[in-house]
Chains A and B, each alone.
Chain A
Amino acid sequence: MSSDLYKGYRGPALEALKRFGVGVWYDVEIDSTRGTFQGIILPRSETADDEHIVLKLHNGYNVGLAVGTIEAVAEHGRREAHYKIPEKAFPFDPAKPNVKLLGTGGTIASRLDYRTGAVIPAFTPGELYGSVPELADICNLDTEKLYGVFSENMGPEQWRGTAEAIGREIAGGIDGIVIGHGTDTMHHTAAILSFMVQNSPVPIVMVGSQRSSDRPSSDAALNLIHATRTAAHSDFAEVMVCMFGPTSDQYGLLHRGTRVRKMHSSYRSTFRTIGDIPLAMVDRERFIPLRDDIKPRRRDRDVTVNTSFDDRVSIVYYYPNMKPDIIDSLIDNGYKGIVIAGTGLGHVNKPLYPSLKRARDEGIHVYMTVQTLWGYVQMYVYDTGRDMMDLGVIPGQNMLPEVAYVKLGWALGQTGDAEEVRRIMLTPIAGEITEREPHNGYLIYQGGIPEVEEFISRFKK
């Protein structure tokens, strides 16, 4: 109780609250050397300093008062906030498909956390219906909160748990699955789920938001509508990421789980398919498939779930003048697999060679990918590439570095045999390696060029 009464306050600010016999949610009048202020004492963010008390003035603004300036506090009762997303029973319609939303974190629907000043997700079907009522027109929705972590804290344990949950839902007859996920590592999870859950008969759609749902302009609601529609009604039985196509509220893109990457730290349209084109476009009314090799939805329940994973794997992002001790330290620390994101076609400098040789000799699996993200590894063009292959470095074709990383962990979870690992790594399972790169798989329009500017001005971004 006492921690709630002084939520977030410490040091001098906590002392002051105690001295004046007040706490969080007290309606007070504070006399300070800078004047008198009236309002409600709010909890303080734990990351903020311990010198100020936060007051919500009656006009709705918050201000901080330095404890050193406070002379007297008069109390006029307490007014605790009851923060609740309006909850309404999610309607059930036997004619509509059943969709399961698995929560891992992220801010699909959220409320403010005073402790950290950040937003924490709200999630039950009733809460979701309260904030995005359109969902009831799409499907019957059930939710299960698997985890509540920021996406950077997702790891093998959560990947396994999510894959198993998907397997259970499919076995239980679900028509589609939506996975709520923080966006930062959504593409890592999408990739590993593509390997751990194979041959799904139903859509598995990952979704998140770039603007949290406590903002009126949030992309959360529309992303959720797109994802839920895809899970409920699309014919696409793959692991996909569903996020904004443009920054405008227009349509979402469905990206294949192994070819997608977060490409901007904050844009809504941050997810892009790399080295290929997305599967389809989705909006409130339509699906527009962009390719003809999308795996179709099936009635059977024949899914394969394989959650093996060995986490002694690392990515090394090569930079000029890298010293061999980087590789050595991985070897010394017992790593079994290394994915290198090399320069250009897949290169590192000569000083690393002895360490690469040592890695090979100690049975460590080393795969090469490209930090250019677009394009294939090609280690025959230059002698240096051939030298590296002689040292046991295996070209990872056009696998994205993060995809190669999770796939190597997944492969090593199944076998330690170099040949078998190599077979798993180089056999395409879910589009992570493609035979050909289409000409429109690499399009980064350069702003400023007249025809690009004309294109931008003609189509909403």
Chain B
Amino acid sequence: MSEYRTIDEMTLEDYQAIGLRSGLEIHQQLDTQKKLFCRCPVRPYSDHFDAEILRHMRPTLSELGEYDGTALMEFKTKKNIVYQINKETVCTYEMDDTPPFELNRQALDIALEITMLLGCKLVSEVHIARKQYLDGSIPTGFQRTTILGVDGSIPYGDRTIGIIQLGLEEDACREITDKGHDRVYRTDRLGIPLIETVTCPDMRTPREVADVAQIIRRLTRSTGKVRTGIGRTRQDVNVSVEGGRRVEIKGVPRIKQIPLLVHNEALRQVALLEIMRELASRQITGESFRYETREITDLLRSTQYYPVATAIKCGLEVHAVVLRGYRRILSRKTQPETTFAREISDRVRVIACLDTLPNIAHSDGEGETFSSAEWTKIKKHSGMGEKDVVVVVWGGPDDARTAVREIAIRAKEALEGVPDETRQALPDGTNGFERILPGPNRMYPDTDLPPIAITEEHIERVRAGLPERPWERRARYEKLGLHPVMAGRLSISPLKDLFDTAVERTSYDPASIASLLLDRLPRLVRRGALPGWSGERCIDTIAAASGAGLPPEVLEVLIERTCGPEGAAAGEAVSSWKVLESGELERRMTRFLRSIEMPGLDESRLRRYLTGRLAGEFRGHISDRDASAFVGAHLAGGGAPGKGR
């Protein structure tokens, strides 16, 4: 087996060698007043609830007459699903006791706007579909969802990343707990308009995935019409390697978590493929796969192994599953600190609801479980041979039966390499089984709502209000002479429109306006120095200063006067500003520098220190750059050898 390599040890070529392909599904809440299919307000999440509802989910047939794999899996788990309801944010629609109201037009327009920004082809008629979710995250058992456009693209360096589709849908509940057969959801998030942007699997390294997530996030934020904050944007990451299958890692809240998750999943798939080849070399196939199972509760009544001793005390059963020919497979590493046994344990946890860990023990990893005498008895009694492994599982009769079946199912899937799964992102960058990957069979047309035609006039109306895409803006700013980093930051800044106005209405150099807006003013805002801040006041001040021919370094001081506690009018602030004649300024600066007590610093630090002091003292009269130059000349000219030197 190949050595596990860290993300820092892997290059683009290394990832290409394993055939990594990754794509994103980005979920972004839209900033509407109301929810998508009812008139409930969108409010901050709250832990308060007024009532609870209990429901169960059953699988139904798809439009094409097939059951969906995920749906059947969720049905096997037999969960009691409890919804906690807050009367402020939930009406009978979210409870699935009232049919949907007409789709929120504000949400449709925002979503169309983003669909256009992504360069997607727009559909002519929006059909609302039901996408089944039997985990209970939506009380109806399905999410109302639509496709607005397909086949778009965004630039990424010198490549383009394909956008498969953009959909508009309702957000699901927040899961609160999931223990045994009981799962609890809170419903305040339910029904909030959400767009799902799906990219092609065009990313080749873990870092590229994060980069593209960032680009799309900036694009959606450039509209100013999406929600921001924890849980308002969530990424699903699709990962596959050559010979593997597309695995979906769900609900990654932060972009910076993405690279490690992608890396670990890629290596997990490589490990699973190695296990597949190993099993093939042992001549185990789908047809020849064999397992046997026995109840061994009585055998272990006096065990000291705490989890099983407790289980037996609670009246649970213990079962042994012998996997023929699987010796040493369960102890093979699949993720950092994790072996293939975890793949099996995860399925038992999720599908059989045996969620007190450990939930299995196996003969490839005997340590710290049963005594060796007990293992000998277990092996003998279960009929384990030399080439086999035995897995022990414990639970109530129904759950244990489900668990035994699931152990065999997952073991058999190892013959195919990577199973179709969605997996949950764990904080340490690894992932765990969440559910079987759903297919197109879970889609069903929503018969409660008629299709909505998207007319040419509608498209034109939305198109007329499209914001400039961040990468277009950035290119334009670079042409204005901004440094690429500055241009990039400004292109996604909330003050970008203010910048455009200032450049248009004044004669100041774009770079000084950019630095004012991106660095200097935010510093003042953080200090609380601009309580009267408004874009309009700011622009008025800049325009007045420009009209009076004042230099750009004065702007910060003037804005502090107009937008600060003083609240001076722009004209007054400008006219009361005293410009120092250059000879006078130099004299005062020289005097100031001489007055400073010099600390013991090396040349460059000293220069920075003095520049800071000088720029602070003569704020509004001199730019940082000029201050630095002045200090440099001052020091070089042997001026003012301070006392500290």
Given contacts A36-B121, A60-B441, A64-B453, contact A111 B127 (CB under 8 A): no
Asked whether any CB of chain A lies closer than 8 Å to the CB of B165, the reply is yes
Contact A66 B453 (CB under 8 A): yes
> Is B525 an interface residue, CB under 8 A from the partner?
no
Do B52 and A461 have beta carbons less than 8 Å apart?
yes
Q: Which of B55, B139, B164, B167 has the most CB of A within 10 A?
A: B55
Query: A322 at the A/B interface (Cβ < 8 Å)?
Result: no
Distance (Å) between the CB of B225 and the closest chain A CB? 23
Q: CA A186 – CA B95 in complex, angstroms? A: 23
Q: Any chain B CB within 8 A of the CB of A329? A: no
Kindly provide the distance from the CB of B78 to the nearest chain A CB, expressed in whole angstroms: 12
Q: Does B499 contact A (CB under 8 A)?
A: no
Does A415 count as interface, using CB distance less than 8 angstroms? Answer: no
A59 and B131 CA atoms in complex are apart in Å by: 11
**A-side contacts of B130, CB under 8 Å:** 215
Could you tell me which residues of chain B, from 63 to 88, have a CB within 8 Å of some CB in chain A?
63-65, 67, 71, 82
Q: Are B99 and A82 in contact (CB under 8 A)?
A: no
User: Can you name 10 A-B residue pairings with CB atoms under 8 Å?
Assistant: A36-B121, A37-B123, A60-B440, A64-B125, A211-B140, A216-B60, A218-B58, A218-B141, A248-B55, A266-B97
* Chain A residues, Cβ within 8 Å of B63: 56, 81, 83, 112
Cα of A248 to Cα of B64 in the assembled complex, Å = 30
Identify which of A151-159, A294-302, A452-460 touches chain B.
A452-460
CA distance A58 to B443 in the complex (A): 11
Tell me whether B285 is interfacial, beta carbon within 8 Å. no
A35 to B131, CA, bound (A): 25
Task: Determine the chain B residues whose CB is within 8 A of the CB of A221 once the complex forms.
Answer: 58
Cα A84 to Cα B142 with chains together (Å): 21
- Residues on B with C-beta less than 8 A from A222 are 56
| B61 interface residue per 8 A CB criterion | yes
- Interface: B129 (CB within 8 A): yes
Checking A60, A66, A111, A457 against B129 with a beta-carbon cut-off of 8 angstroms, the contacting residue is A60
Is B637 part of the contact surface with A, judged by Cβ < 8 Å? no
Report A166-199 CB contacts with B as 1/0, cut-off 8 Å.
Answer: 0000000000000000000000000000000000
Whether, in the assembled complex, A373 has its beta carbon less than 8 Å from a beta carbon of chain B, the answer is: no
Asked if B92 is at the interface of the complex by the 8 Å CB criterion, the answer is yes
Binds B, one of A45-53, A135-143, A388-396: A45-53
Chain B residues closer than 8 Å to A54, beta-carbon distance: 125, 127, 451
Contact present for B121 and A85 (CB under 8 Å): no
Binds A, one of B143-151, B205-213, B468-476: B143-151
Instruction: Please provide the chain B residues from 244 to 287 with a CB less than 8 Å away from any CB of chain A in the complex.
Output: none
- Least distance between A182 CB and chain B CB atoms (Å): 15
A222→B82 CA distance, assembly (Å): 17
- A64 and B147 within 8 A (CB): no
Is B604 located at the chain interface by the 8 A CB criterion?
no
**Residue A247 at the chain B interface, CB threshold 8 Å:** yes
In angstroms, Cα B58 to Cα A35, docked, is: 38
Contacts of B123 in A (CB 8 A): 34, 37, 63-65
Interface string of B195-208 (1 = CB under 8 A from A): 00000000000000
Q: Which residues of A contact B147 (CB under 8 A)?
A: 57, 59, 61, 63
- Given A51-B453, A57-B150, A60-B443, do A216 and B58 touch, yes or no (CB 8 Å)? yes
CB distance from B576 to the nearest CB of A (A): 59
Q: A57-B147, A118-B447, A249-B54 are in contact. Are A216 and B71 (CB under 8 A)?
A: yes
Instruction: Give the shortest distance, in Å, between A20 (CB) and chain B (any CB).
Output: 16
Give the docked Cα–Cα distance between A60 and B142 (Å).
Answer: 14
List the A side residues contacting B442 at CB < 8 Å.
Answer: 60
B462 within 8 A of A: no
9 A-B pairs with least C-beta separation = A64-B125, A216-B141, A35-B121, A60-B440, A60-B443, A83-B65, A66-B124, A63-B123, A248-B54
Contact A460 B57 (CB under 8 A): no
Contact digits for B416-458, partner A, Cβ 8 Å, 1 yes 0 no: 0000000000000000000000011111110100110100000
Measured in the bound complex, the distance between the Cα atoms of B451 and A47 in whole Å is 11
Contact of A268 with B by CB under 8 A: yes
CB-based contact B96/A217 at 8 Å: yes
Specify which chain B residues have a CB less than 8 angstroms from the CB of A66 in the assembled complex: 124-125, 453
Q: Is the CB of B82 within 8 A of A460?
A: yes
B51 touches A61 (CB 8 A): no
Query: Which residues from chain A contact B146 at a C-beta distance below 8 Å?
Result: 61
Collect the chain A residues with CB atoms within 8 Å of residue B96's CB. 211, 215, 217
Query: B134 on the interface (CB 8 Å rule)?
Result: yes
Contact B99–A266 (Cβ < 8 Å): yes
B351 in the interface (beta carbon within 8 A): no
Question: B124 contacts which chain A residues (CB < 8 A)?
Answer: 32, 34, 52, 63-66, 69
Q: Nearest Cβ in chain B — how far from A453, in angstroms?
A: 7
What per-residue 1/0 map shows which CB atoms of B88-111 lie under 8 Å from chain A? 000010011111000000000000
* Docked complex Cα distance between A264 and B581 (Å): 82
> CB-CB < 8 A to B53: which residues of A?
247-248, 460-461
CB pair A456–B51 under 8 Å, yes or no, is: yes
Q: For residue B142, which residues in chain A have a CB less than 8 angstroms away from its CB?
A: 215-216
Would B60 and A250 count as touching, CB distance under 8 A? no
* CB of A416 closer than 8 Å to a CB of B: no
Q: Are A456 and B56 in contact (CB under 8 A)?
A: no
B58–A82 CB distance below 8 A? no
A217: chain B residues at CB < 8 Å are 55, 57, 96, 139-141
Q: Which of B122-172 contact A (CB under 8 A)?
A: 122-127, 129-134, 139-142, 145-147, 150-151, 164-165, 167
Q: Is the CB of B61 within 8 A of A83?
A: yes
Contacting pair B54 A267 (CB below 8 A)? no
B567 at interface, CB cutoff 8 A: no
- Asked if B59 lies at the interface with its beta carbon under 8 angstroms from chain A, I say yes
Which residue of chain B is the closest to A211 with respect to CB atoms?
B96
Q: Given that A112-B63, A215-B142, A249-B55 are known contacts, is A61 also in contact with B125, CB under 8 Å in the complex?
A: no
Query: In whole Å, how far is A347's beta carbon from the nearest beta carbon of chain B?
Result: 34
B236 to chain A, nearest CB (A): 14
**Known contacts A112-B444, A117-B447; is-contact A460 B54 (Cβ 8 Å):** yes
Q: What is the bound-complex CA distance between A54 and B126, given in angstroms? A: 10
Say whether B141 contacts A215, CB under 8 Å.
yes
Query: Chain B residues near A131 (CB, 8 Å)?
Result: 60
Residue B50 lies at the interface, judged by CB distance under 8 Å to chain A: yes
Whether a CB of chain B sits under 8 angstroms from the CB of A213 is yes
Q: Which residues of B contact A164 (CB under 8 A)?
A: none
A82 close to B125 (CB less than 8 A): no
Most buried by B among A58, A213, A216, A267: A216
